[in-house]
A = this chain, B = another copy of it.
Amino acid sequence: MLNYQAILEEIHTSLKKTKNTGEIASYIPELANVPKNKLGIHLQLITGENYSVGDASEKFSIQSISKVLSLAKAFQLVGNDLWKRVDVEPSGNPFNHLSLLELEDGIPRNPLINSGAIVIADVLLSHLKNPKEDFLNFVRELTHDETISYNEKIAESERVTGFNNYAAANLLKAYGNLQNKVEDVLDFYFHQCSIMMDCRQLTNAFFVFAHKGKCIKDVQHLTSSQVKRINAIMLTCGFYDEAGEFAFEVGLPGKSGVGGGIVALLPHCFTIATWAPALNPKGNSFLGMQALEQFTTKTKLSIF
């Protein structure tokens, strides 16, 4: 039997000594103020045990990690019709995120790149009565945690600087793949990205993907077939243009955010979340990637 607590502590000790060459994301001013040396890891087994080290209970902005949660809600609401508006293939290079949209007539390559997540946000706006409130409630139900909230300051900070997302949303609109107003869709999108969680809350939220669609309170939110598909998308598309590298080094479905969080999971086994705000050049947490690579190497637990 593995001593998970000892393993997390080994990893934490080793990474605290590592020279951290990552950089804090500066393009969202509100994110730039986070101390660079933070490092937290939380592991939750499917059987309910929890293990924690470092800054695992400190909240941060989950950013792109929210894309998996909005995808889950949209998949729950509209089923396979979703795939008429967004594809499920990895996106390749970073340089061409809008050019891919142009080449592929306004169908985003997958729901975890920004343009794809904006289409998902549009779907939620069309199907939820009070979109921001209802989506937050979905996240609170998954985590059984009423303290989870939007960070209005971060959402506003993105609203005034998110020109790339305005470009993507307008291009989608030009291709007829956005039903609601650009401003409304992006307001929702900036809010979902601003959600604050700590590592433990993230392992709660993603428990549903490790447990055949059932959340930590054993409520069935998604079918096991939907969960299988979402996990496949996380594996092939969850780490920008480093998805292949993450599958190769870590071997788990997961998702990163520019707030420095990463969450990953082994179906039927565990969910794990890390937080370390400095990012590598591809936009993924520098220490978080290493923490997860060490974890799967030490435990020999991966999907491969």
Contact = CB atoms under 8 A, between A and B. Distances in A.
B236 A247 contact: yes
A90 B88 contact: no
A232 B253 contact: no
A248 B227 CA distance: 10
Contact of A304 (B243, B249, B251, B303): B303
A303 B304 CA distance: 8
Nearest to A246: B232
Interface residues of A, number: 55
A231 to B, nearest CB: 4
Contacts of A217: none
Interface in A68-110: 87-93, 95-103, 109-110
Contacts of A224: 300
A245 interface: yes
A229 interface: yes
B164 A171 contact: yes
Query: How many copies of the chain does the oligomer comprise?
Result: 4
A163 B167 contact: no
A262 interface: no
Question: Most chain-B CB neighbours within 10 Å: which of A98, A167, A236, A242?
Answer: A167
Given A102-B95, A166-B166, A304-B231, A297 B225 contact: yes
Interface in A157-171: 163-164, 166-168, 170-171
A102 to B, nearest CB: 6
A302 interface: yes
Contact of A228 (B91, B98, B103, B302): B302
Contacts of A249: 229
Contacts of A100: 92
Interface of A: 87-93, 95-103, 109-110, 163-164, 166-168, 170-171, 173-174, 182, 224-225, 227-229, 231-233, 235-237, 241-245, 247-249, 251, 253, 267, 297, 300, 302-304
18 contacts: A89-B244, A89-B245, A90-B243, A90-B244, A98-B99, A98-B101, A163-B173, A166-B167, A167-B174, A224-B300, A225-B297, A227-B304, A228-B251, A229-B249, A231-B251, A232-B244, A233-B247, A233-B248
Given A163-B182, A170-B170, 8 more contacts: A92-B92, A98-B171, A163-B174, A166-B173, A167-B168, A228-B251, A228-B302, A231-B251
